[in-house]
Structure 1
Amino acid sequence: MLLACPQCTLENPLDVTHCVCCTSVLSPDDRIRTLLNQVHLLASELHDARAIIASLPHRHISPPMPRTPPTTVVNVNAQSLRRMGYRSLDAWLAASPHHKYVGRGMAARDGKPAMPGSVWGNPFKIGRDGTRDDVVQQYRDYITDKITRGDVDLSDVRGKVLGCWCKPEGCHGDVLAELADAHTE
C-alpha cells in the first residue's frame, strides 16, 4: 500500500517520512490512517475467506487404521508350548483367535485325538522331496501359485501367530509370514 504526497501526489511507500520526489513531510497521521485502512481491508478479506471455508462441504477424516501386527511363527512342540504357558496345542489354539496352526494333519495316537491339517500346511517332506531348504523353496512356489489363483487368502494368516513344528529352523511358516506381511491390501 502506498501513501500519496499532499504536494506532488506521488505515491510513496509507507515506510518513508518524506516524499521521494519533493521531500515534503508525509504526515504521520496520514501514514497511520493508511496503515489502519490496510489492516481493516485485510481483516475484511480474512472474514470473507473464513465465510468461504465455512460454506465448503465438510469432509469427515477418519482416524488412521490401526496397524496389523507382524505375522510371526512359533514352534508348537510340547516343550515350546509349556515354555509359553500352554499344556497342549489345543490349549494354545483356544487361547487366542490370533493363534493359527499351519502344519500338516496328525493321526490320533496315545489316546490323543487326530489333528486336522491346515490348508497352509507344507505338502513337501524333508527327505522324500529334498533338503529343508529345498522343501521350503518348493512350498514358496506352491503357495505363491495358490495365492495367485485365489485358492487361499493371505488375510487368513496376516498378523497372526502361526504355529508349526519346524521353528526355529527354516520353516514354511516363515514363507507365509513374509508373504502375508508383504501383501497388505
Structure 2
Amino acid sequence: MSLACPQCTLENPLDVTHCVCCTSALPPDDRIRTLLNQVHSLASELHDARAIIASLSAAHRHVSPPVPRTPPTTVVNVNAQSLRRMGYRSLDAWLAASPHHKYVGRGMAARDGKPAMPGSVWGNPFKIGRAGTRDDVVQRYRDYITEKITRGDVDLSDVRGKVLGCWCKPEGCHGDVLAELADAHTE
C-alpha cells in the first residue's frame, strides 16, 4: 500500500512523512486512514481464516496441548564468592530470591553473630576423609539416598527442576547425584 501526494500525486510508501518527489508534507490523517484500512483488511482476512479453521473436521483440528517441561535440576556453589558473582550478598539472600533455590548441604553452626543454618534432608552425611575420598562419599551418598527414595522417606519432586546449592561444586558433589536422580525419575 502507498499514499498519494496531494500535490504531485506520486504514490509514496507509508513510512515517509514527506513526498519523495516534491517534498510536500503528506497529510497525517490520510496516512492514519490508510493504516486503518489496512488493519480492517487484515481483520477481515483473520475472520475468514478463523471460519476456515472452524469448518475443518474435529479429527483434523485435534492438537494435543503442550506438555509442560520441568527445567533441568542444576547445582551451584553457595560459598560467599560464588554467591557474590551471582549477585547475592548471602546464602539467605540466595534462598529468598526464588522458590526454586534449594539448599542441600549440611547444617552450619552459628558463628560471627550469624544464626545457625539447619541442614537439609538432602545433605550428605558422609564426610571426605573419615568416610573416604570425594568419589567414595559421593558413591556412598548415591546408595544412601537411593535407599531413602525407595523407602519413601524423601520425595524427588522436592528437588526436581530446582537450583540446588551446595559447598563443593564444581568438584564432585552429592548435589550432582540428586540432580541426576531427580531428572531421571519423573512422576
In structure 1, which of residues 77, 82, 103 is the aligned counterpart of residue 84 of structure 2? 82
> Relative to structure 1, is the Cα distance of residues 150 and 38 closer, same or farther in structure 2, using a 3 angstrom cutoff?
closer
Instruction: Report the secondary structure of 1:45's partner residue.
Output: helix
Residues 161 and 17 of structure 1, relative CA distance in 2, 3 Å threshold: closer
Q: Distance in 2 between matches of 1:114 and 1:33?
A: 69
Deviations 1:82-130 (A, max 9, x none): 0000000000000000000000000000001100000000000000100
Q: Residues 124 and 55 from structure 1, CA distance in 2 versus in 1: closer, same or farther, beyond 3 angstroms?
A: same
Deviation at 1:47, TM superposition (A): 25
Deviation at 1:65, TM superposition (A): 2.1
Structure 1, residues 111-153: CA drift from partner, whole Å, max 9, x if none?
0110000000000000010000000000000000000000000
Partner of 1:12: 12
In the superposition, relative to structure 1, how do residues 62 and 107 fare at CA in structure 2: closer, same or farther (>3 Å)? same
> Percent same amino acid at aligned positions?
95
Asked which structure has the greater CA Rg, the reply is 1
CA 1:4–1:99 in 2, change beyond 3 Å: closer, same or farther?
closer
Residues 111 and 68 (structure 1), Cα distance of their counterparts in 2 relative to 1, 3 Å cut: same
Q: Whole-Å Cα distance in 1 between the matches of residues 160 and 145 of structure 2?
A: 14
Q: Distance in 1 between matches of 2:112 and 2:32?
A: 99
Cα distance, 1:23–1:174 mapped onto 2, change above 3 Å: closer
Judged with a 3 Å threshold, the aligned counterparts in structure 2 of structure 1 residues 87 and 33 are, in CA distance, closer, same or farther, namely closer
Distance 1:23 1:110 in 2: 75
Q: Distance in 2 between matches of 1:178 and 1:47?
A: 49
CA distance in 2, matches of 1:6, 1:82: 63
Distance of aligned partners of 1:92 and 1:61 in 2 relative to their CA distance in 1, 3 Å threshold: same
Distance 1:51 1:141, change over 3 A: same
Which 4+ stretches in 1 moved above 3 angstroms?
1-56, 58-62
How far off is 1:64 after superposition?
1.9
What SS does structure 2 have at the residue aligned with 1:24? Answer: coil
Q: What is the TM-score of this pair, normalised by structure 1?
A: 0.67
Number of aligned residues: 184
Runs of 5+ consecutive residues of structure 2 not aligned to the other structure: none
Residue 67 and residue 112 in structure 1: after superposition, are their counterparts in 2 closer, same or farther (change >3 A)? same
Distance 1:178 1:61, change over 3 A: same
TM-score (norm 2): 0.67
User: RMSD value over aligned CA atoms?
Assistant: 13.1
Q: Which runs of 5+ in 1 are unaligned?
A: none
Of 44-53 and 106-115, more deviation after overlay is shown by: 44-53
